């Protein structure tokens, strides 16, 4: 066992840290439009510094960082409280899918604008009747004049209104088994057949959208991985999503926990034994998340792929974020009920953590079936 | 950065796993536990393998390895639910190694390392494996003393965990242990935590096997989410406890400043994990798990005892809060 960084890893961490110190864009402005412009400018700066495609191979304009370097980078971003780049879905999902399954023309066309943030990407997977059971999705695409026409509804589509491209999974064969009749498209969002409506969530904000496709046109060259292979291509994306989310999670929770401890002291509650027990539970869970991440990273360095054990981290992260923000609003007492205050907003927002990116119940299914080898219910 | 064992450590683990599996078959564990005995011949074998002195310095007759290696053995012994005076002897060794004087080390450690003059460990309430030991490291109040076993006035305690021998010390006078008690007690907490991780791992494996085999309503019960999600929760608990325990052991050897907090986290999490996993294991097994005839209760009771000894999870969480910023 060696849980320290070696010389070159330490040097890498210092390089990231000093770059972030010199280039940190400061506090994000209020308002969706302003915030998005800010994140776009930030991504361009990251790209110019060679950090936007940290995990991307060099041949595609990325940095080609090792797994440990990626983890260090994610940790430093969280530590500095740096904003996420605007085109996060393009960077962690769209780009990797094109690199893994795309043609040379597709790589040439799409990768560079993803890195620079010039073209924003969104994800058209979930539907009102297809959440955890993604493969049951109903949006369909039919052949038309050298291309396809897509019709259906997608939901929980982040940044749809800012996006040029949508990673759209649609049913192209009604006869085939449900996992086999899907195709993965890159659909142009700037056309009449695409309508976007903001979806207001329990926080009162609209981070997400509903997207309605009505005979939206997609040329043949925008099919990724071939007709009927949509499920296999989409799964790559989801694995990247989970791996992409994992890196900085423990550092971010740890940073928030530090802020919570300060809040507890400000409110003079540091001697309350119940609060001390709850804080200790959070500290222990956060440390377990950090260490579990190091173990998963060690395993991934050997096997080359993220294992199903990653589901434990997603589960713990959601649980921690929810407990942490609940405790913060308990500490605030009646002030914790005030609308649009940071902790209260986060307490409400955290309810989604055990749903988005795979529900905690799905994480438990994955662990039961793929780690413990229990029989499938279906 | 590499969070796994090196080749030598892996070999220690594999050797321990197969040795313990062959010597402590479930029927053997049961017969020793029901009789309230240890098997002296098996202890002799364990001593011949050099386990009791694995983390004791070579100059005192030990193997000169570290806390990680000792932790590996503790986890495997917990996994086998082995009735052995191993942990108590190792804990006495840690107390003397880290808090003892040079004279105490020179006079006591060789016997502990060879296993021929065992040490035992205890506090005001409970002494573990006192009978048959030569000396007891007794923690109480804010200090610790070394008490000759013959002068400790031991009275047997009949506790639910039948895989160890428990007693109460009637007399507590002895030589003080004046050194770094925190360094000693942190390592002792890691050793108990490792035993608990092993216990929890075993209870989880038994539950998963049972959930695959047992059929009700024409299918394996492990296909039902009411059961499978309990098993997933077991893995969650075991792996978190394991991560924290391994880290604390590594910290003891490589980054001792981190040990007090890491050990408190490990003991708190492992205590809760072992109890929660064993409870759920009984639930997953249903009626059969509640019978004396089934082996699960030996694990459940060992988990309960380990969770109580050397600080409950609540006490260790309080320590975590104090060390990590709440004062």
Specify the CATH number for the domain of residue A349.
Answer: 1.20.140.10
Q: Are A288 and A280 in contact (CB under 8 A)?
A: no
Cβ contact (<8 Å) for A280 and B318? yes
Give the DSSP per-residue string, A170-182. Answer: EE--SSS-TTTSE
d(CA B239, CA A296): 11
Question: CA-to-CA distance for A151 and A171, rounded, in angstroms?
Answer: 10
A279: nearest Cα among B325, B158, B189: B325
Residue A105 forms part of a structural domain: no
pLDDT at A371: 94
Nearest to B240 among A6, A288, A363 (CB): A288
Mean pLDDT of the A289-303 span: 89
B60: Cβ contacts below 8 Å, ≥ 6 apart:
B53, B97, B105, B106, B109, B110, B113
Q: What is the pLDDT of residues B17-71, one digit of tens each?
A: 999 999 999 999 999 999 999 999 999 999 999 999 999 999 999 999 999 999 9
> Going by DSSP bridges, is the β-strand pair B166-169/B154-157 parallel, antiparallel, or unpaired?
antiparallel
In this structure, which topology does domain B182-326 adopt according to CATH?
Answer: Butyryl-CoA Dehydrogenase, subunit A; domain 3 (1.20.140)
Interface test with chain B among A247, A256, A291, by most B beta carbons within 10 Å: A291
Range of the structural domain that residue A74 is part of: 7-86
The whole-chain average pLDDT of chain B stands at: 97
Q: What is the pLDDT of residue A76?
A: 93
Does the residue A189 lie in any domain?
yes
- Has residue A73 been placed in a domain? yes
Query: Does residue A351 share a domain with residue A252?
Result: yes
- On average, the pLDDT of chain A sits at 93
Q: What is the mean pLDDT of residues B291-296?
A: 98
Q: Say how many domains are in chain A.
A: 3
Q: Which residues of A are catalytic?
A: 241
Give the distance from residue B13's alpha carbon to the nearest chain A alpha carbon, in angstroms. 14
Minimum Cα–Cα distance from A290: chain B residue? B243
Q: Which residue of A has its CA nearest to B9?
A: A1
Q: CA triplet A187, A190, A194: central angle to 5 degrees?
A: 70
Mean pLDDT of A2-7: 92
Q: Six-digit token pair at A41?
A: 């400018």
DSSP A47-111: HHTT-TTTTS-GGGTS----HHHHHHHHHHHHHTTPPPPTTHHIIIIIHHHHHHH--HHHHHHHH
> Which is nearest to B269 in space by CA: A33, A286, A191, A245?
A286
Is A28 a domain residue?
yes
Q: Mind listing the pLDDT tens digit for each residue in A300-351? A: 888 877 777 789 999 999 999 999 999 999 999 999 999 889 999 999 999 9
Residue that is last in its domain, among A33, A59, A86: A86
Which conformational region is residue B13 in: left (phi greater than 0), alpha (psi within -120 to 50 degrees), or beta? alpha
Element (H, E) at A79: helix A67-79
Q: Are B53 and B94 in contact (CB under 8 A)?
A: no
Q: Helix A310-332 crosses helix B225-254 at what angle (to 10 degrees)?
A: 90
Subunit contact A1:B326, Cβ cutoff 8 A: no
Q: Among the listed ranges A47-51, A302-306, A341-345, B150-154, which one has the minimum average pLDDT value? A: A302-306
The DSSP symbol for B120 reads E
- Return the domain boundaries, chain B: 7-180, 182-326
pTM confidence score: 0.95
Sheet harboring B127-128: ordered strands across? B154-157, B166-169, B127-128, B119-122, B135-140, B143-148, B175-176
Pairing of β B215-216 and β B154-157: unpaired
Contact A187, A163 (CB under 8 A): no
Q: Are residues A262 and A337 in the same domain?
A: yes
- The residue of A253, A257, A375 whose CB has the most chain B CBs within 10 angstroms, and thus the best one to mutate to test that interface, is A375
Residue by residue, DSSP assigns A322-339 as HHHHHHHHHHHGGGGG-T
- The answer as to whether A103 is a domain residue is no
- Please indicate, yes or no, if residue A104 is contained in any of the structural domains: no
Q: Which of B1, B211, B212 sits opposite A5 (nearest CB)?
A: B1
Contact state of A288 with B4 under an 8 Å Cβ cutoff:
no
Statement to judge: residues A274 and A200 lie in one domain: no
Q: DSSP H helical segments within chain B, as ranges?
A: 7-23, 26-35, 40-48, 67-79, 86-99, 102-114, 181-213, 225-254, 259-285, 296-308, 313-321
Alpha carbons B12 and A147: distance in angstroms, whole number: 62
CB pairs under 8 A between A and B: 149
Question: What is the ipTM for the molecules in this complex?
Answer: 0.97
Within 8 A by CB and 6+ apart from A58, the residues are A64
Rounded Cα distance, B226 and B229, in Å:
6
The pLDDT value recorded for residue A377 is 74
Closest of B240, B227, B237 to residue B289, by C-alpha = B227
Same-domain check for residues A140 and A176: yes
Burial zone of B86 (CB within 10 Å; 0-12 exposed, 13-18 middle, 19+ buried): buried
Q: Are strands B135-140 and B119-122 parallel, antiparallel or unpaired?
A: parallel
Among the residue ranges A10-24, A72-86, B282-296, the one predicted with the least confidence is A72-86
What's the distance, Cα to Cα, between the start and end of chain B in Å? Answer: 31
The domain defined by B7-180 folds into: Butyryl-Coa Dehydrogenase, subunit A; domain 1 (1.10.540)
Q: What is the mean pLDDT of residues B163-192?
A: 95
Domain membership of residue A113 (yes or no) is no
Query: In this structure, what CATH number is given to the domain that contains residue A156?
Result: 2.40.110.10
A235-239, A257-261, A286-290, range with the lowest pLDDT: A235-239
Q: B262-283: b or e for each residue (b if 16 or more CB lie within 10 Å)?
A: bbbbbbbbbbbbbbbbbebbbe
Is position A268 within any domain?
A: yes
d(Cα A336, Cα A327) in Å, to the nearest integer?
A: 10
HSE, CB side, 13 Å, CA atoms: give it for residue B160.
13
């Amino acid at each position: 066992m060696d849980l320290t960084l070696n010389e070159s890893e330490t040097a890498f961490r210092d390089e990231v840290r000093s770059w972030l110190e010199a280039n940190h864009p400061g506090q994000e402005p209020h308002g969706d439009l302003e915030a998005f412009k800010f994140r776009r400018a930030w991504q361009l700066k990251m790209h110019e510094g060679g950090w936007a495609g940290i995990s991307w191979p060099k041949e595609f304009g990325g940095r080609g960082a090792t797994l440990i370097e990626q983890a260090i980078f994610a940790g430093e971003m969280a530590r500095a409280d740096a904003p996420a780049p605007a085109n996060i879905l393009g960077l962690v999902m769209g780009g990797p899918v094109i690199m893994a399954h795309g043609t040379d023309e597709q790589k040439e066309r799409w990768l560079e604008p993803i890195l620079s943030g010039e073209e924003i990407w969104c994800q058209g997977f979930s539907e009102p009747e297809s959440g955890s059971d993604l493969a049951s999705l109903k949006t369909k695409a039919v052949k038309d004049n050298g291309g396809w026409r897509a019709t259906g509804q997608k939901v929980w589509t982040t940044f749809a209104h800012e996006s040029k491209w949508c990673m759209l999974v649609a049913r192209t064969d009604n006869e085939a088994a449900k996992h086999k009749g899907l195709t993965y498209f890159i659909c142009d969002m700037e056309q009449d057949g695409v309508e976007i409506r903001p979806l207001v969530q329990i926080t009162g904000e609209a981070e997400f959208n509903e997207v309605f496709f009505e005979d939206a046109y997609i040329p043949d060259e925008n099919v990724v991985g071939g007709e009927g292979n949509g499920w296999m291509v989409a799964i790559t994306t989801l694995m990247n999503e989970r791996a992409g989310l994992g890196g900085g999670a423990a550092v971010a929770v740890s940073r928030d926990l530090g802020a919570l401890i300060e809040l507890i002291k400000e409110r003079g509650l540091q001697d309350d034994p119940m609060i001390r027990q709850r804080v200790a539970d959070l500290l222990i869970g956060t440390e377990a998340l950090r260490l579990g991440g190091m173990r998963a990273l060690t395993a991934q360095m050997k096997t080359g792929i993220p294992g199903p054990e990653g589901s434990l981290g997603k589960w713990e992260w959601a649980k921690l974020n929810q407990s942490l923000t609940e405790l913060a609003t308990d500490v605030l007492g009646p002030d914790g009920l005030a609308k649009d205050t940071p902790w209260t907003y986060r307490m409400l927002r955290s309810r989604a953590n055990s749903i988005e990116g795979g529900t905690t119940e799905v994480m438990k299914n994955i662990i039961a079936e793929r780690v413990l080898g229990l029989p499938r219910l279906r | 950065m590499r969070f796994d064992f090196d080749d030598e450590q892996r070999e220690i683990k594999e050797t321990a796993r197969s040795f313990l599996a062959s010597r402590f078959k479930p029927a053997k564990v049961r017969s020793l536990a029901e009789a309230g005995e240890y098997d002296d011949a098996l202890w002799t074998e364990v001593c011949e393998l050099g386990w009791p002195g694995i983390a004791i310095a070579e100059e005192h007759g030990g193997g000169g390895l570290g806390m990680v290696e000792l932790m590996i053995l503790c986890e495997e012994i917990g996994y086998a639910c082995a009735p052995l005076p191993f942990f108590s002897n190792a804990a006495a060794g840690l107390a003397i190694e880290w808090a003892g004087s040079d004279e105490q080390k020179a006079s006591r450690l060789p016997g502990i390392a060879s296993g021929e003059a065992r040490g035992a460990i205890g506090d005001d309430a409970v002494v573990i494996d006192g009978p048959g030991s030569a000396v007891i490291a007794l923690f109480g109040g804010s200090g610790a003393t070394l008490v000759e076993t013959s002068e400790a006035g031991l009275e047997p305690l009949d506790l639910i965990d039948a895989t160890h021998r428990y007693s109460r010390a009637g007399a507590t006078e002895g030589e003080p242990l004046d050194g770094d008690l925190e360094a000693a007690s942190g390592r002792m907490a890691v050793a108990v935590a490792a035993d608990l991780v092993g216990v929890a791992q075993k209870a989880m494996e038994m539950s998963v096997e049972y959930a695959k085999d047992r059929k009700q309503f024409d299918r394996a019960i492990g296909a039902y989410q009411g059961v499978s999600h309990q098993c997933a929760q077991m893995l969650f608990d075991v792996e978190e406890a394991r991560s924290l325990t391994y880290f604390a052991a590594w910290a003891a050897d490589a980054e001792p400043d981190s040990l007090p907090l890491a050990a408190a986290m490990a003991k708190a999490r492992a205590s809760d994990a072992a109890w929660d996993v064993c409870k759920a294991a009984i639930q997953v097994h249903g009626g059969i798990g509640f019978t004396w005839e089934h082996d699960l209760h030996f694990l459940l009771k060992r988990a309960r005892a380990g969770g109580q000894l050397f600080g409950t999870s609540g006490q260790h969480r309080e320590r975590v809060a104090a060390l990590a910023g709440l004062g």
